[in-house]
């Protein structure tokens, strides 16, 4: 399940990576290439004030005006790989948050990324 939400404070804890996450990143890259407004994306571990604990989120730079279309596509990609009890948060970070993310994680997608995700060694 994919969730889109607004939070007063998001704590960015680090990049989320692993074999299944790389499969998800590949699927998301294919989606993002269809939306020129999407400039970059990161897969992160986050924590919010509203929901205690650690969640996984995709942070998307640009594309917020297309969120009505993007969110279900991202949700379907996530659901194809993960159990129904798992969820993925979807963030459209503001400039301050983008700077915070850049300090702890790289982008798995940029608008000039190749269509296929290259698995990290």
Could you read off the pLDDT of 19-61 as tens digits, one per residue? Answer: 999 999 999 999 999 999 999 999 999 998 877 789 999 999 9
**Domain containing residue 33: CATH number:** 3.30.300
| E strand or H helix that includes residue 88 | strand 88-91
Note down the domain range covering 25.
2-110
The pTM (predicted TM-score) of the whole model is: 0.85
CB under 8 Å to 102, separation ≥6 — which residues?
none
The residue count of the chain comes to 121
Q: Where do we find the tokens 């007063």?
A: 8
Asked if residue 60 is part of any domain, the answer here is yes
Q: CA–CA separation, 109 vs 117, rounded Å?
A: 8
Q: Looking at residues 7-21, what average pLDDT do you find? A: 88
Q: So what's the pLDDT on residue 67?
A: 86
Domain count, the chain: 1
pLDDT tens per residue across span 67-119: 889 999 999 999 999 988 888 999 999 999 999 999 999 999 999 866 655 55
Tell how many helices (H) and how many strands (E) occur in the chain: 3, 6
């Amino acid at each position: 399940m994919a969730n889109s939400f607004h939070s007063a404070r998001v704590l960015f804890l680090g990049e989320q990576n692993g074999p299944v996450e790389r499969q998800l990143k590949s699927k998301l890259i294919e989606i993002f290439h269809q939306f020129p407004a999407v400039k970059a994306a990161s897969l992160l571990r986050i924590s919010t004030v509203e929901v205690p604990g650690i969640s996984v989120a995709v942070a998307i730079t640009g594309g917020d005006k297309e969120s009505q279309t993007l969110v279900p596509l991202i949700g379907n990609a996530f659901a194809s790989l993960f159990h129904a009890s798992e969820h993925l948060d979807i963030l459209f970070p503001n400039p301050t948050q983008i700077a915070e993310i850049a300090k702890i994680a790289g982008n798995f997608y940029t608008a000039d990324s190749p269509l296929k995700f290259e698995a990290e060694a």
